[in-house]
Chain A
Amino acid sequence: MSLRRVNRAVLYLVLCVFAAGYLMPVYVALITSLKPNSEVDLARMWQLPTRIDLSSWGQAFERLSPGLATSLELAIPATIIVAIIGACNGYALSKWRFPGSRTLFQWLLFGMFIPYQSVLIPLLKVMDSIGLYNSVPGLVLVHVIYGLPIATLIFRNFYVGIPDDLLEAGRIDGNGYWGLFRSIILPLSVPAFVVIGIWEFTQVWNEFLFAATLTTPPHQPVMVALQNLSGSQIVQWNVQMAGAIMAALPTLIVYIFLGKYFVRGLLAGSVKG
């Protein structure tokens, strides 16, 4: 009995040590971002600020606000469009199988595992020639296309779990292909929409390679802006830390409130789950 209690104590101790380790970068970023310039000193990184100073947040916001706006204009439409197309695809692939549908699905899925470097040169040329280089609609299009495989995967796997009997019942009521989708499948799809919504928003918000390749300064999403901020030699690191937190905050807030669905997206992305 007492051995068991010791074991439990050790278990919680280890868990707390790891939790502290995972939180450590957040702690450092937060206290540094709240320090006035005079207290930003390499030797005193771990010291709490003597007074809370929000000037670095102001400076970071000034530098990042265009990027934050661009990222919102980018992530929200991309997420909505990809979710809608993903739902339709998932429905077709799970409830209306046709010869070769599984092979097709596999070919679609491979699209999410490629290194995007291997499509970057043609992508740049095509976006340029159709006038979408350096524009938010261009980035939306790119994120929608490369987001299709995971969206299709999540909806397909979700719809596989909906019993075919339900569709048969709907069919007796006189519903066709789209009728069944609207009256039976869509009302049950809310959890899948939440999962893909959170996952895709996070992915698009955090993405860097396409953003860095396909945009130039005034139209750059927040992660490129943050990278420019931290790469600049003249910017103090309290400002960099404030910028880092600011750029991470939207996805972090989504995670804090809807973490369960985020993890589902995470597991779904590994195909087997």
Chain B
Amino acid sequence: MAMQPAEMTITQPRRARKPWTWERVYPILTLLPSIIAIAVFVYGFIVWTGVVSFTKWNTLVPDLSWNGFANYRAIFQDFRFQSDLRNLLFFTVLFVLVSMIIGLFLAVLVDQKIRLEGLFRSLFIFPMAIAFIVTGVVWQWLLNPSTGVNLILKALGLTHLPKWYVDITIVPSIPWGHIKFGLPLALLAVIIAAVWQMSGFAMALYLSGLRAIPDDLKEAAAVDGANAWTTFWRVILPQLNAVTVTVVIMLIHISMKTFDLIYAMTGPGAAFVTDMPSMDMFQTTFQGNHYAQGAAISIIMLLLLAIFIVPYLTYSLRGEKP
């Protein structure tokens, strides 16, 4: 839906009449400090980081001489960064899928006109109010292989207990560049903690989507004799397509920025099985003093995010009335 020209003239008739007044300048003056701040601290700094990523500044002393794509070549050939990309891929896919499914499932349950709805809803969302650092500290103990969840699994009679985040196994472990491609099992522990924290977000979004579907549509489908399962797939789910796009993009966005949780829970892990680009950038830059390589990693992170966010923002705002 493009802007309707007719509506534009309805909402903005004043401008045509009044040639110049302070009132036309005020909105821009109001916004000016923010525009400057964002122009400098977001766009200016991104350009600056971009420039740094093409320099030889890989020691404590800034050296801004041109280095071409050497830093990008270096990180893409680096065992650690290759591991990061693999980890980010598997983490994102599993985290997004599981959070989405659990979020949708819980939203449907909560939407069944249940008692104590507010209580259940609050319980599923409260981890969102907690810091990733707190989550990391607590789950680090819960998924510590010698205690926590494993005590319960042991009591249930399991003999082969999972090693959680200390596991260095990669499944299926296909040689790829310098690394083995596959799912590092250690990531499952981080995914569990992340899903605990974020699935409530998916639930909240899906619930608001479900509430927007008129009741008579839900009831009509039920009366038609379609059983609940078919109703859900044929009638309800297609209505939630837009919500699903939002859920997926927002979860991808969170996943790509994952930093605190890893920092508090596992660190980069043995052989970087739980490392992420965010962590790599932080340590490469501020502990290793390889500023230019750190900058290159952050530019790759930015590009990966922009692939999802820019079309989403364009699409979200385009449908709005002017």
Contacts and interface: CB of A to CB of B under 8 A. Distances in A.
Interface stretch (B131-139, B173-181, B183-191): B131-139
Given A24-B142, A212-B263, 16 more contacts: A98-B27, A115-B298, A117-B277, A117-B297, A119-B42, A121-B48, A122-B45, A177-B27, A206-B131, A223-B131, A241-B138, A241-B141, A266-B125, A271-B313, A271-B316, A271-B317
A110 B309 CA distance: 8
A209 B259 contact: yes
Interface string A83-111: 00100110111001110011011111111
A263 B126 CA distance: 10
Contacts of B128: 262, 266
B109 A15 contact: yes
Interface string A117-141: 1111111000000000000000000
B147 interface: yes
Contacts of A32: 141
For chain A, the bracket of interface size reads 35 or more
B317 A102 contact: yes
A114 interface: yes
B275 to A, nearest CB: 14
Nearest to B317: A106
Interface in A232-273: 237, 240-241, 243-244, 247-248, 251-252, 254-256, 259, 262-263, 266-267, 269-273
Contact of A252 (B123, B126, B152, B204): B126
A-side interface mostly: helix
A110 B42 contact: yes
Nearest to A271: B316
B240 interface: no
Q: Is the interface of B mostly helix, strand, loop or mixed?
A: helix
A145 B46 contact: no
Contacts of A259: 122, 125-126
Contacts of A169: none
Contacts of B30: 88-89, 91-92
Interface stretch (B18-26, B71-79, B217-225): B18-26
A96 B151 contact: no
B48 A240 contact: no
Given A177-B23, A206-B132, A11 B114 contact: yes
A19 B123 contact: yes
Contacts of A120: 49, 281-282, 285, 298
A249 B66 CA distance: 49
Interface string B244-275: 00100110010011011001100000000000
A43 B147 contact: yes
A271 B312 contact: yes
Contacts of A248: 129-131, 134
B286 A213 contact: yes
B91 interface: no
Contact of B141 (A108, A237, A272): A237
Interface size class of B (residues with CB under 8 A): 35 or more
A18 B242 CA distance: 26
Among A91, A176, A237, A263, the most chain B Cβ lie within 10 Å of the Cβ of: A263
Interface string A1-21: 000000000011011001101
B300 to A, nearest CB: 9
A205 B131 contact: yes
Contact of A42 (B147, B277, B286): B147
B70 to A, nearest CB: 17
A118 B299 contact: yes
A170 B120 CA distance: 44
Contact of B134 (A106, A177, A226): A226
A78 to B, nearest CB: 14
Contact of A25 (B131, B142, B294, B299): B142
Contacts of B298: 115, 117-118, 120-121
Contact of A46 (B129, B151, B281): B151
Contacts of A79: none
B112 interface: yes
